[in-house]
Amino acid sequence: MAAMLQSIGVASASVTFSNHTNKLTSSSVHSLPVIRSEARTISGAINGSRKTGKVITKAVAAQAESPASAASKPGHELLLFEALREGLEEEMDRDPRVCVFGEDVGHYGGSYKVTKGLAEKYGDLRVLDTPIAENSFTGMAVGAAMTGLRPIVEGMNMGFLLLAFNQISDNCGMLHYTSGGQFTIPTVIRGPGGVGRQLGAEHSQRLESYFQSIPGIQMVACSTPYNAKGLMKAAIRSENPVVLFEHVLLYNLKERIPDEEYVLSLEEAEMVRPGEHVTILTYSRMRYHVMQAAKTLVNKGYDPEVIDIRSLKPFDLYTIGNSIKKTHRVLIVEECMRTGGIGASLTAAINENFHDYLDAQIVCLSSQDVPTPYAGTLEEWTVVQPPQIVAAVEQLCK
């Protein structure tokens, strides 16, 4: 490839340059070489150039930028639900077997706009508006997956998927095992859950705790536009059934994400803020409460390490373990109920595996074991708030 670039050389007209640029971009996205030919920095051409026309002028204008930083800085800004949609659309473009089932996902565009515009683009059969029959359309998705399709089931609210519990647990999770490996069920079950703004008890459910024992499924929770898109793509590409937990209040988060394609690992945790004094494990919306508390803690002189565990089943004990070995104190902040929640399982897992490294008992802050009340103040008190997190860290680090 270097030879080709050298041959472009000094005297080539911009026309030939653009032809070669096309070839460059298609191959260089995968190989990321550091190429500097005299006087022309091709590096600009490498980053996110789906719009090759513009790239040429930018490439000439951009000075000696290393490909790494050039790859991460420009990007595009979008909201979390748009990131989910982008990931979904890219996967539907890439594989014709990917389809979506859900209530109001087609013509209406999705009740949280995650599937907006997709029905017009892919047709009614690929983005299927189902009647209100969670049990059977989840079952239909599993049946379709048995033949090789890759359906994505959207629960308008995660809580409604309790009606489909049998299908998710027995058919989705267990068919690969009970058929002796004959069938794989590459479904993605996704939807918003969590405590919103006074939505009432039945619309504020957190199903992570109910699904976590089901053998055969993987569970992930997204929290930023970047990981939402990456996890959505990973979940669709995975051969296993994946439940992707989104949060009602996080759909309008804005972030700049890269232009080029990326897929995240379903079993990896994310290091949000490295630190020394205490490991705070969290996921989904509580990440933001923790980061808010972290600001206060830093002012008070503490150095918390915040990890967004992302993968709820299986836990990324590798990242978590390394952190515990460093800090020796753990605080778990979650939105699940106290009884039988993700925090409870995580506490058990950490105690079993890293007991020797702990200097203090694991503290787990979770939501109260109550149905979520409607009244605003009461609802605020069911979930963990930043002052409680600060107090817990202070207590832990005493």
Partner 1 sequence: MAQLTHRTSSLLKPLSFALSSTRHLSSTTPITVETSLPFTGHNIEPPSRSVETTPQELIKFFRDMALMRRMEIASDSLYKAKLIRGFCHLYDGQEAVAVGMESAITRKDCIITAYRDHCLFLGRGGTLVEAFAELMGRKEGCSKGKGGSMHFYKKEGGFYGGHGIVGAQVPLGCGLAFAQKYSKDENVTFAMYGDGAANQGQLFEALNMAALWDLPAILVCENNHYGMGTAEWRAAKSPAYYKRGDYVPGLKVDGMDAFAVKQACKFAKEHALKNGPIILEMDTYRYHGHSMSDPGSTYRTRDEISGVRQERDPVERIRKLVLAHDLATEKELKDTEKEIRKEVDDAIAKAKESPLPDPSELFTNIYVKGYGVESYGADRKELRAVLP
Question: Which sequence positions are flagged as catalytic?
Answer: 134, 203
Q: Which is nearer to partner 1, 130 or 382 (CB)?
A: 130
Q: Which is nearer to partner 1, 110 or 216 (CB)?
A: 216
Long-range CB contact pairs, 3-9, < 8 A, 24+: 5/35, 5/37, 5/42, 6/37, 8/37, 8/40, 9/37, 9/38
Q: Is residue 398 exposed (0-12), middle (13-18) or buried (19+ Cβ within 10 Å)?
A: exposed
| Site track 29-68 with partner 1 (rule: CB under 8 A), x = hit | xx-x-----------------------------------x
Would you say 168 and 138 are in contact if contact means Cβ atoms under 8 Å apart?
yes
Nearest to 32 by CA among 60, 70, 74, 59: 70
Q: Which is nearer to partner 1, 256 or 300 (CB)?
A: 256
Among 45, 99, 188, 384, contact with partner 1 (rule: CB under 8 A): 99
Q: How far is the CB of 111 from partner 1 (least distance, A)?
A: 19
Q: Is residue 58 exposed (0-12), middle (13-18) or buried (19+ Cβ within 10 Å)?
A: middle
- 3-class SS of residue 154: strand
Quick count: other Cβ atoms within 10 Å of Cβ 29? 16
Nearest to 245 by CA among 322, 166, 171, 308: 308
Give the footprint of partner 1 on residues 349-388 (CB under 8 A). Answer: none
From the list 139-147, 199-207, 341-349, 387-395, the region that binds partner 1 by CB under 8 A is: 139-147
Q: Is residue 388 exposed (0-12), middle (13-18) or buried (19+ Cβ within 10 Å)?
A: middle
From the list 1-9, 28-36, 300-308, 340-348, the region that binds partner 1 by CB under 8 A is: 28-36
Tokens 């995660």 map to which residue? 158
Q: Which is nearer to partner 1, 171 or 327 (CB)?
A: 171
Q: Which is nearer to partner 1, 195 or 266 (CB)?
A: 266
Q: How far is the CB of 259 from partner 1 (least distance, A)?
A: 9
Where does residue 281 fall: left (phi above 0), alpha (psi -120 to 50 degrees), or beta otherwise?
beta
Tell me if 167 contacts partner 1 by CB under 8 A: yes
Where does residue 78 fall: left (phi above 0), alpha (psi -120 to 50 degrees), or beta otherwise?
beta
First-to-last alpha carbon distance for the chain, in angstroms, is 59
Q: How far is the CB of 323 from partner 1 (least distance, A)?
A: 16
Q: Which is nearer to partner 1, 318 or 374 (CB)?
A: 318
Q: Which is nearer to partner 1, 234 or 250 (CB)?
A: 234
CA–CA gap between residue 334 and residue 29 (Å, rounded): 38
Among 18, 135, 198, 322, contact with partner 1 (rule: CB under 8 A): 135
Give the footprint of partner 1 on residues 212-231 (CB under 8 A). Answer: 215-216, 218, 226, 230
Q: How far is the CB of 107 from partner 1 (least distance, A)?
A: 14
Among 72, 213, 252, 385, contact with partner 1 (rule: CB under 8 A): 72
From the list 53-61, 140-148, 196-204, 385-393, the region that binds partner 1 by CB under 8 A is: 140-148
Give the footprint of partner 1 on residues 171-190 (CB under 8 A). Answer: 171, 175-184, 186
CA–CA gap between residue 113 and residue 293 (Å, rounded): 31
Count of residues of this chain found to bind partner 1 when the rule CB under 8 A is applied? 66
- 3-class SS of residue 343: helix
Residues belonging to the chain: 398
Give the footprint of partner 1 on residues 222-281 (CB under 8 A). Answer: 226, 230, 234, 237-240, 257-258, 260, 262-268
For partner 1, the binding residues (CB under 8 A) are 29-30, 32, 68, 71-72, 99, 125-126, 128, 130-131, 133, 135-149, 166-167, 170-171, 175-184, 186, 215-216, 218, 226, 230, 234, 237-240, 257-258, 260, 262-268, 314, 316, 318
